[in-house]
Amino acid sequence: MNLLNKHQEKMIKNSQIPSEFYKEYNVKKGLRDLEGKGVLAGLTNISAIHSFDEDGKQIPGILEYRAYNIKDIVDDLRREGRFGFEEVTYLLLFGELPTADDLKEFQDILAHKRILPEFFVRETILTNPSSDVMNSMSRCLLALASYDDKAEDISIENVLEQSLNLIANFPLLAIYTFQAYSHYRKEESLYIHYPDLTLSTAENILRMLRPDCQYTDTEAKVLDIALILHMEHGGGNNSTFTTHVVTSSGTDTYATIAAALSSLKGPKHGGANIKAAKMLENIKQNISNYHDEAEIEDYLYKILNKEAFDQQGLIYGIGHAIYTISDPRFEVFKSYVASLVKEKGMEEEFELYERVARLAPKVISDHRKTYKTISPNIDFYSGFVYKILGIPQELFTPLFAIARVVGWLTHRIEELINMNKIIRPAYESVLESKNYVKLEDR
């Protein structure tokens, strides 16, 4: 161990790059400029994110799927009282809103694809269960490739077929791998509910997850909206950019989506909603009065000063790399959360969330001495909603994956249609050349 420690110190010393070098070499660290805006790395027809107007002035955030404002999409779903995951999946994949006949046909296709290969659950999912559902999903995803005689075929026709299979089966992979873990590692009862062909994706998730298969319409509608809002967020987010990079190498769909899953698993990406939920639980345990804004502010300062919660100095769920004035997903989701909270009688806890969402941006701005506008993002509420729905924390990030796989596969198809070069950005070496020293002279 001492030998390893010695070499580890060498590794760290020789791998460090002075932060001033990024300015000297004009390299945008994290592919972001000094204002936090992403460096343009590609073009897409799939979605658009707006937080500045043509004059560079901050504006309330806008998210568009195939040029349609997400707020308009959700408003129409609410007005009609229908589930929208399948409809928005159609929009993203094919670039157009479906007709009623198109939608019915597409819903039937997805419903009949919600089936895993024979014995797959027993032989792949129930063996070697892991407490990390995302890792188990990756293993299952790669195992599915062995059941596909055309796994390596990257023609658009075949990749579309693979995409529909994966979109339909991601909920099964997530829920069944969690249930395997719960049974074998937590010694809980094992139950495997098959999906109902007549139900939506959101309804089936709740049906398969719960022992009694029961859920309310409000619960399913809120989960449906959560899936829609997490479905796509531009080509530059970490997991979707990973999809573009890996696709450009010419590899197969299963390997590509496994890479995207690995990216999403990171706590700086898909795991942020877990952190936000845990942080709010910590706040609840350490304040005496949910209505005392001064006490809440004081504790938020302690979190920023690394004196409370996880000592990382971060208020999770507040702020975003792109959105400044507001995250449109947060704004849309908030109204749905309110209806669920009322049904569950959790108004007091919801009011605490609202106070933290209002106070935290001011606390962060004061602490960092910055005038940049900061607002809550969708991660702030999503973990809270999943908790109300009785969804275990182990499934928070997998739920994100169930939604975002639609965006990944849509971007994969876009990359395949337009692909002519492998994505290969340049890295500049900051070392000066050395004369080689023979072993006997070292």
Q: Tell whether the model's pLDDT for residue 1 goes beyond 70.
A: no
Q: Tell whether the model's pLDDT for residue 155 goes beyond 90.
A: yes
Over range 370-379, report the average pLDDT. Answer: 82
Can 33 be counted among the known catalytic residues? no
217 & 144 share domain: yes
pLDDT at 371: 61
The parent domain of residue 12 ranges over 2-31
DSSP classification of residue 95: S
Q: Is residue 92 part of a domain?
A: yes
pLDDT at 185: 78
Closest alpha carbon to 45 in 322, 235, 320, 224: 235
Percent above pLDDT 90 for the chain: 77
Q: Is residue 368 part of a domain?
A: yes
pLDDT at 319: 86
145 & 101 share domain: yes
Q: Render pLDDT for 73-91 as a digit per residue (tens, 0 to 9).
A: 999 999 999 999 999 999 9
Over range 207-232, report the average pLDDT. Answer: 96
337 & 402 share domain: no
Q: Give the whole-angstrom CA distance, residue 151 versus residue 160.
A: 12
Over range 240-263, report the average pLDDT. Answer: 98
Q: Tell whether the model's pLDDT for residue 33 goes beyond 80.
A: no
Q: Is residue 65 part of a domain?
A: no
203 & 127 share domain: yes
156 & 247 share domain: yes
221 & 252 share domain: yes
Residue 183, SS3 per DSSP: helix
| CATH value at residue 80 | 1.10.580.10
Q: How confident is the model at residue 180 (pLDDT cuts 50, 70, 90)?
A: very high
In this structure, what are the phi and psi dihedrals at residue 250, rounded to the nearest 5 degrees? Answer: 95, 10
In sequence order, which residues have a C-beta less than 8 Å from that of residue 394 and are 6 or more positions away? 131, 133, 178, 181
Q: How confident is the model at residue 35 (pLDDT cuts 50, 70, 90)?
A: low
For residue 211, the tally of other CB atoms under 10 A from its CB is 9
| CATH value at residue 330 | 1.10.230.10
134 & 205 share domain: yes
Question: Is the pTM value of this prediction over 0.85?
Answer: yes
Closest alpha carbon to 64 in 77, 46, 51: 46
135 & 192 share domain: yes
381 & 399 share domain: no
Q: Tell whether the model's pLDDT for residue 197 goes beyond 90.
A: yes
- Among residues 233, 244, 320, 411, the one annotated as catalytic is 320
Can 320 be counted among the known catalytic residues? yes
Q: What is the DSSP string of 259-323?
A: HHHHHHTSTTTTTHHHHHHHHHHHHHHH-S-TT-HHHHHHHHHHHHTTSSTTSS---TTB--SS-
224 & 307 share domain: no
In sequence order, which residues have a C-beta less than 8 Å from that of residue 269 and are 6 or more positions away? 237, 238, 239, 263
Per-residue buried b or exposed e for 72-86, using 16+ beta carbons within 10 Å of the residue's own CB: ebbeebbeeeebbbb
pLDDT at 339: 87
- The answer to whether the CB of 413 falls within 8 A of the CB of 247 is no
Q: How confident is the model at residue 36 (pLDDT cuts 50, 70, 90)?
A: low
Q: How confident is the model at residue 321 (pLDDT cuts 50, 70, 90)?
A: confident
225 & 363 share domain: no
Q: Give the whole-angstrom CA distance, residue 442 versus residue 439.
A: 5
